[in-house]
Amino acid sequence: MTTFISNTQPIRRQMHEWLDTETDDNLVSEVAEFKEQLYADKYLKKITDKEYRESIERAIAQANAGQTISQEDLEKEIEKW
């Protein structure tokens, strides 16, 4: 049984060879930007302006209420992860 992954291997090899020998730097840059945009669209959640403003307002309210953490404390907490 042939899987989708094995079917794409020849295409992957061709693309690697092509990118390795491509002399048009602008074209390679465009391909890289296209790849980055694909990943961004797939993995990054877009938020609305309203959601963005609300998150800023929550952060300001937390800071005003004294709900903050120092850089040192944050680094100590990260070390526990």
How confident is the model at residue 3, as a pLDDT? 55
Question: How many domains does the chain contain in total?
Answer: 1
How confident is the model at residue 7, as a pLDDT? 80
Distance CA 2, CA 15 (A): 21
What is the widest separation between alpha-carbon atoms in the chain?
62
Distance CA 27, CA 18 (A): 11
pLDDT averaged per 10 residues in sequence order, the chain, 81 residues: 68 91 92 90 86 95 91 91 88
Sign of the alpha-carbon dihedral angle for 60, 62, 68, 71: negative
How confident is the model at residue 4, as a pLDDT? 56
Task: Give domain status of residue 32, yes or no.
Answer: yes
Task: Give domain status of residue 39, yes or no.
Answer: yes
How confident is the model at residue 60, as a pLDDT? 95
Task: Give domain status of residue 56, yes or no.
Answer: yes
Sign of the alpha-carbon dihedral angle for 15, 37, 43, 77: positive
Task: Give domain status of residue 36, yes or no.
Answer: yes
How confident is the model at residue 5, as a pLDDT? 59
